[in-house]
Amino acid sequence: MSSRTPGPGDRPAGPGRTRIAALDVVRGFALCGILLANVKPIAHVGDALAPAAPVPEGDTAVWPGLFVDQRFFPIFSLLFGVGFSLLLESAAVRAARPRLVLARRLLALLAIGLVHFLLLWRGDILTAYAVVGLLVLLPSTWLPRWAVACLAAVLLAASLLASGGWHTLVPGLFLLGSALTRYGVIDRVERSARGPAVLGLVLAAGAVPALWWQSGLNLHDPGFSLAFSTAGLLVAGVYVCVLLVLMRTPLRPALRAVFEPLGRMALTNYLTATVLVLAAARVVGGVPDRWSEATVVTIAGVILAVQWLWSVLWLRRHRQGPVEWLWRWATWAGRPPLRRAA
């Protein structure tokens, strides 16, 4: 896969691209955190809850609000922007109208998200991703990379200052991921641990006071939303940097074995997790808000174990997950191969 037709100021086209294992590992890790944050909201069948709502006040544990809620969706959103720009590079070589390919991909995602939203869970995030992609990501492909980077910074700052929720951060995170790709950062992400280590220390230095700030507020304080979102972005950044550093250590094979299968089938696993959580809710019973954190962790752990085994077995014989395959079919308007060659 080679580069797309470069825009003003873009990096030169490369001779080709192999799959970046670190991205699949980070995506799989984010999927685990998103499920952990979403178990209770999904269990509220028919409730219009955001997928990473803050922990309600009461006798609940503090750690999910500090280290789980709204700490993983920023990673997923950033990676969506990365994947969008990587696909545009491929489409520029394979298709006469590469932006049409991207438009089909976003429209297909919108259809998938609407089915998920209408039939299973009103907290679905895929519809929001598709709409923001059509309104923000697709038009940004006509902008030079410096403009995309500046616009990402402006949108993220504006969202924080306006104390917006998770949905207002998505456009800026999408553009940030796109800018990182267009500047070649993603191509170099596995070459050295020094950059992620330094950035991780900087983000951690900001995350500590942000978490302290958040912990001193309650859900109804005027500054809670700003503290919650700021801490969420910084902690998410620390998680990513730590993973990238660990990918340069002897732990790399273990990280790939645990998270890569989940990450390669992230869309399939995200959708099936809803069905599995709803099934688990019937078995566990009771009011989800009254579930202990141990119950939530157990439900998420069992579901992730099932999905990991399913992903490993499926990917041995198939090139990608079943929903990913359908999504690719809609993207390229042609049926791609699914089974691996013998």
pLDDT tens digits, 236-291: 999 999 999 999 999 999 999 999 999 999 999 999 999 999 999 999 988 898 89
Per-residue pLDDT at 30 exceeds 80:
yes
What's residue 46's pLDDT? 43
Cβ partners under 8 Å of residue 36, min gap 6: 64, 68, 72, 296, 297, 300
Mean pLDDT for the stretch of residues 300-320:
97
Q: In this structure, how many other beta carbons lie within 10 angstroms of the beta carbon of residue 161?
A: 9
C-alpha 6/C-alpha 181 separation (Å) is: 12
90-100 tens-digit pLDDT: 999 999 999 99
Is 261 in contact with 108 (CB distance < 8 Å)?
no
Give Cα separations from 323 to 84, 190, 329, 339 (angstroms): 17, 28, 10, 14
Is 34 in contact with 262 (CB distance < 8 Å)?
no
Helices 21-43 & 224-246, crossing angle to 10 degrees? 140
What's residue 147's pLDDT? 98
Token duo for residue 274: 């809803």
Q: In 3-state terms, what secondary structure has residue 318? A: strand
At 100, the amino acid letter reads L
Cβ partners under 8 Å of residue 66, min gap 6: 211, 214, 215, 231, 235
Which is higher by pLDDT, 60 or 11? 60
User: What's the gap between Cα 166 and its chain centre?
Assistant: 12
Per-residue pLDDT at 56 exceeds 60:
no
What's residue 154's pLDDT? 96
Q: Which of 128, 203, 231 is nearest to 170 (CA)?
A: 128
Per-residue pLDDT at 220 exceeds 60:
yes
What pTM, to 2 d.p., does this model score?
A: 0.89
Per-residue pLDDT at 52 exceeds 60:
no
187-212 tens-digit pLDDT: 999 888 999 999 999 999 999 999 99
Tokens 């219009």 found at: 48
C-alpha 86/C-alpha 164 separation (Å) is: 29
Per-residue pLDDT at 55 exceeds 70:
no
Proportion of the chain above pLDDT 90, given as a percent: 77
Which is higher by pLDDT, 61 or 230? 230
141-167 tens-digit pLDDT: 999 999 999 999 999 999 998 876 678
Q: Which of 277, 313, 278, 312 is nearest to 298 (CA)?
A: 277
Q: What is the DSSP letter of 4?
A: -
